[in-house]
A = this chain, B = another copy of it.
Amino acid sequence: MTAKEQVEQYLSGLYDQPVSQVLDDSMTYSLLAGGKRIRPVLLFSTLELFGVPADKGLKTAAAIEMIHTYSLIHDDLPAMDDDDYRRGKLTNHKVFGEAVAILAGDGLLTDSFHQISGDDSLTAEQRMKLITVVSGAAGSRGMVGGQMLDMVAEDKELTIDELKTVHRHKTGDLIRACFECAGIIADQSDAVIQKLVKIGGNFGLIFQIKDDILDVEGSFEKMGKSAGSDVSKDKSTYVSLLGLTGAKEAMQEMVTETEQMIHELSDGNASLLDLLHYITSREN
């Protein structure tokens, strides 16, 4: 079973014995809507660096995927991005209505911390550290703060540093958390965890630059949403600020730096490097 399949299976068995069936249906609809599971795969590949089996990170990976899913549900709401499609499927509120979609997001977010706190394959100390990292990366000082910055920035020309700040929080912090969590689960030293934080930060930025490139170059079939949807909103992106060629060069530079950091940590472990190349060459 691949790492992606392992997460898929775990998430599909997560919700039984509902308090409210429609709430569980709504949460499950988005949770199993066929995401790429990049974050869990990053976490597992980082664990692999230290010879720790994926199982040990399964609940934390599931929790991060639940948080990612809730953020998409809320992001798609009419009051936010007002999107009808996500990954080629109707968005949560188009199927279940806005009120249910708001609650489904709230439920997934809250339940994610229950996953980590209840993971008895880890010590209390580890679980506590994981929750500190994940809630910090997802909350008002992380992802939610970044979403707010992103919203305020619409229709505004940003500098490249401002754009980086938006993305460091909006998408970067949760991706960075996958690396940091893997370090905690693998009982690594603070020094190693700091290196993982740096690698994770780079992965997040690379991921975002690639997203901006795909938004210009991608197609609906491959992306599951309209290409150019950010451009049409006059949003600052890496492509709008650096040009398509400039964005690709900036990404490549960061990839090279990241490869080197992974080599330093791993003596040539392949899995994270493969992922780095997958992320930069993906078509959706």
- Given known contacts A71-B106, A110-B144, A114-B135, what 15 new A-B pairs fall within 8 Å (CB)? A19-B141, A19-B142, A74-B106, A80-B99, A80-B102, A103-B151, A110-B140, A111-B141, A113-B131, A114-B136, A116-B131, A117-B128, A117-B131, A117-B132, A123-B124
Within 8 A of B (CB), among A86-110: 97-100, 102-103, 105-110
Query: Which of A105, A116, A117 has the most chain B CB within a 10 Å cutoff?
Result: A117
Bound-state Cα–Cα, A113 to B142, Å:
14
> Of B19, B99, B109, B140, which one neighbours A27 at CB under 8 angstroms?
B140
A182 within 8 A of B: no
> Of B22, B127, B141, which one neighbours A148 at CB under 8 angstroms?
B22
1/0 per residue, CB under 8 A from B, across A135-156: the answer is 1101111101111110110000
Q: Known contacts A124-B128, A146-B19: does B139 contact A114 (CB below 8 Å)? A: yes
A10 within 8 A of B: no
1/0 per residue, CB under 8 A from B, across A2-22: the answer is 000000000000010011101
A43 within 8 A of B: no
A77 within 8 A of B: yes
A161 within 8 A of B: no
Q: Known contacts A114-B136, A117-B128, A131-B117: does B107 contact A106 (CB below 8 Å)? A: no
A24 within 8 A of B: yes
A192 to chain B minimum Cβ distance, whole angstroms, is 21
A125 within 8 A of B: yes
Give 18 CB contacts A-B under 8 Å: A19-B145, A20-B152, A70-B106, A74-B103, A77-B102, A80-B99, A100-B148, A107-B144, A110-B135, A110-B139, A110-B144, A111-B141, A113-B113, A114-B135, A117-B135, A124-B125, A124-B128, A127-B128
Contacts of A80 in B (CB 8 A): 99, 102
A102 to chain B minimum Cβ distance, whole angstroms, is 6
Contacts of A108 in B (CB 8 A): 140
A15 B109 Cβ-Cβ under 8 A: no
A101 to chain B minimum Cβ distance, whole angstroms, is 8
B79 A99 Cβ-Cβ under 8 A: yes
A227 within 8 A of B: no
A141 to chain B minimum Cβ distance, whole angstroms, is 6
Bound-state Cα–Cα, A169 to B109, Å:
17
Bound-state Cα–Cα, A141 to B16, Å:
10
A29 to chain B minimum Cβ distance, whole angstroms, is 13
Bound-state Cα–Cα, A105 to B239, Å:
32
A130 to chain B minimum Cβ distance, whole angstroms, is 8
Question: From A132, which residue of chain B is reached at the shortest CB distance?
Answer: B117
A118 within 8 A of B: yes
